[in-house]
Structure formats: structure tokens, C-alpha cells
């Protein structure tokens, strides 16, 4: 028997397999074939909204269709998240989200959706270090002085945040745990509501983004003590991190990610992920994100989902230790 005749059956099988793959790929509908809705679960003008618009505009330019923003604020991202979780898994309704995406199940006894089962990671957009600031009249100029002041004045250092269970609340409690101090949390309804009381000295401290706090630091009304991230932020190069101030385990970052309904086709997820990576590797986009006090970050869909799981486990410990509850 000739060599060809011996191997002919195997060649036929291989050819059929390749043909099947090509047929499968050809059967995949073109994406995107129409405009894509990007749901932002917060009000316009905040960190999620700002970066979402920047990335969405560039996704649309690269993929040849509109990626348009629809703000659905409320419920600590629950309203927008639930809307997307129940949308068709076709890639035409996406969600941009923040750490509340994975901390909500730890804080609320019941949610109308499961963020880790009903939604799946597409891409990371940015990491967001938070900024610890104090009223300018407080005699505190460093992390060490803040810790010393808190120990000398137990239960007299109040800090305001956008609400119980917010990333700022969790970051402050993580720092307090590792510093061995007691900080009294004063929750507000939104980050903007905190500022009047911090500026007036009715609360001594707050934790939030550079985007929100930057103008008040520049005017001298608030004093920057430290960033919660792992490295300094170019926009305020003289402000140290908690890590370099002696608290490496207190590093805490907010983040902004893109997710889609579970069961969204793999080729759609992969195309969105790859294009988002291309957007975030562009120097102009990275520079714009850095101007907001954030750092562009790239992850594969699998890495995003693993990161969500790890963050869920990490913050679960902080929430339990700090007895953090959402009323």
C-alpha cells in the first residue's frame, strides 16, 4: 500500500476539521453591526463616567460604530448592573463598573442579580489610587503624624466618605486596621456631599479621588497626606503612598472595568478585549487617564474575572473585621 493511501483517511479527517473551523468562523456574525450601549452606573462627570466616555469614543473609532453612554445611577451601581445583567448577551449592552461590583454581595443581604455569575469580565480600563486628605487646619502633615494624632485623640478623628461600604470607606478601614488606630466613619450620600463638612472642619478627613479633591489641595483648603496606591501619582509627585509611609499592607486601589452579560459569545468578548487593549496602549489615551490621577491598565477577560474573585475575598475580610454594614 502506498504511503499516500495509508495516510489518506487521516488527511481527510484533518481537512474536515479545518473546514469545520473555517465554517464556524464564517458563521460568526460580524460584530459590531450596530451601535453599542455602554451603561455607566453612576452620574455623569464622575470617575467611571469620565473614563468610560474616553474609552468608548476610541472603541467606536476603531470598530466603526458608535459606543454611546447611558447613565443609570443608583443603588451603589445596582440599578445599572441589574439592567445589564438582564440584557441580551449579544455584546450590544455593556457595563462599566467599579469595586462596588464585587463588594455589593458582601454588603447587601440580597441583590436582584449575581455580579460574578450574571456578568463576565471583558477588560480592565484603569486603576485608581485614592487620596487621604485632611482639613488644612488639622496639625497633621504626614501619615506618621496622622497616626500619632489619632492615637492621642481616640475616636476624635472623623472621616467622611460617599457612603457605607464605598471603596473609600473600605480603604480607610484597611489603613486603620494596619495602623492600629480608630477612625470614626461618617457616611454621606455621595462624594460631593462630603466636601463642605471637610472644608469646614466638621469632619477632619476624607478619602477620595484626585479628580474630586485636586482643586481643593491646590487652593490649600485641604492637605494631601498620602495616596493609597502602590506608587506615587505624577500629578502630585510630592505626596507619598501609604506603602512607603510604613503600611504596605494598606495599599488599596479603586478600578474601572468593562463587563458584559454572561453567555455573551466568546468571539465578541475577545474582540472587545483586544480593541480595548489597543485603546489603552495608545500614548494619548494613557496620558489623558493619567491626568485624572489614574493609571491605564490592561487585563485579559480571564484575568479580570480572577481579579474580581481575589478582590472579593480580600474585601470580605475587611468588611467582617470592620463590621461594615449598609443600612
Per-residue pLDDT for 16 more than 60? no
Is 272 found in the same domain as 228? no
Is 120 found in the same domain as 50? yes
Mean pLDDT value across residues 6-26: 53
Structural domain of 153:
131-250
Question: What are the pLDDT digits (tens) for 62-93?
Answer: 999 999 999 999 989 999 999 999 999 999 99
28 or 140, which is more confident? Answer: 140
Phi, psi of 87 (to 5 degrees): -85, 165
Mean pLDDT value across residues 240-265: 96
Phi, psi of 206 (to 5 degrees): -145, 165
Is 315 found in the same domain as 236? no
In a domain, 201, yes or no: yes
pLDDT at 125: 98
Question: What are the pLDDT digits (tens) for 295-317?
Answer: 999 999 999 999 999 999 999 99
Mean pLDDT value across residues 241-270: 97
In a domain, 160, yes or no: yes
pLDDT at 9: 55
Is 193 found in the same domain as 286? no
Spatial neighbors of 146 by CB under 8 A, at least 6 apart, are 132, 134, 140, 157, 205, 225
- Could you give the number of structural domains in the chain? 2
Is 270 found in the same domain as 283? yes
Is 283 found in the same domain as 179? no
Is 294 found in the same domain as 266? yes
Is 64 found in the same domain as 95? yes
DSSP 25: H
pLDDT at 13: 57
Cα separation values, 253 from 171, 187, 227, 265, 292, Å: 8, 20, 9, 30, 14
In a domain, 10, yes or no: no
Q: Is residue 24 very low, low, confident or very high in pLDDT (cuts 50, 70, 90)? A: very low
Mean pLDDT, the chain, rounded, equals: 91
In a domain, 2, yes or no: no
Question: What are the pLDDT digits (tens) for 93-110?
Answer: 999 999 999 999 999 989
End residue of a domain, out of 204, 235, 250 = 250
In a domain, 81, yes or no: yes
Is 197 found in the same domain as 121? no
Amino acid at each position: 500500500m502506498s504511503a499516500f493511501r495509508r495516510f489518506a483517511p487521516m488527511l481527510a479527517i484533518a481537512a474536515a476539521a479545518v473546514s469545520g473551523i473555517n465554517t464556524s468562523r464564517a458563521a460568526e456574525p460580524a460584530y459590531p453591526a450596530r451601535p453599542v450601549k455602554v451603561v455607566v452606573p453612576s452620574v455623569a462627570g464622575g470617575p467611571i463616567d469620565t473614563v468610560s466616555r474616553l474609552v468608548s469614543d476610541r472603541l467606536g473609532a476603531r470598530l466603526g460604530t458608535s459606543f454611546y453612554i447611558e447613565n443609570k445611577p443608583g443603588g451603589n451601581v445596582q440599578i445599572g448592573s441589574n439592567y445589564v445583567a438582564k440584557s441580551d448577551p449579544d455584546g450590544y449592552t455593556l457595563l462599566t463598573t467599579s469595586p462596588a461590583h464585587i463588594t455589593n454581595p458582601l454588603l447587601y443581604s440580597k441583590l436582584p442579580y449575581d455580579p460574578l455569575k450574571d456578568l463576565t469580565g471583558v477588560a480592565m480600563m484603569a486603576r485608581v489610587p485614592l487620596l487621604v486628605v485632611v482639613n488644612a487646619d488639622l496639625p497633621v502633615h504626614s501619615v506618621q503624624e496622622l497616626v500619632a494624632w489619632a492615637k492621642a485623640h481616640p475616636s476624635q478623628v472623623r472621616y467622611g466618605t460617599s457612603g457605607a461600604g464605598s471603596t473609600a470607606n473600605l480603604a480607610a478601614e484597611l489603613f486603620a486596621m494596619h495602623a492600629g488606630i480608630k477612625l470614626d466613619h461618617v457616611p454621606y450620600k455621595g462624594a460631593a456631599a462630603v466636601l463642605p463638612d471637610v472644608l469646614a472642619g466638621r469632619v477632619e478627613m476624607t478619602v477620595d479621588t484626585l479628580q474630586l479633591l485636586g482643586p481643593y489641595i491646590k487652593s490649600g483648603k485641604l492637605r494631601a497626606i498620602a495616596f493609597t496606591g502602590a506608587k506615587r501619582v505624577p500629578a502630585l509627585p510630592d505626596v507619598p503612598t501609604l506603602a512607603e509611609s510604613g503600611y504596605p499592607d494598606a495599599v488599596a486601589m479603586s478600578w474601572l472595568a468593562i463587563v458584559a452579560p454572561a453567555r455573551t459569545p466568546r468571539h465578541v468578548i475577545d474582540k472587545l478585549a483586544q480593541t480595548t487593549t489597543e485603546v489603552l496602549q495608545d500614548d494619548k489615551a494613557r496620558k489623558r487617564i493619567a491626568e485624572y490621577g489614574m493609571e491605564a491598565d490592561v487585563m485579559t477577560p480571564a484575568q479580570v474575572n480572577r481579579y474580581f474573585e481575589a478582590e472579593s475575598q480580600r474585601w470580605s475580610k475587611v468588611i467582617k473585621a470592620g463590621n461594615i454594614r449598609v443600612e
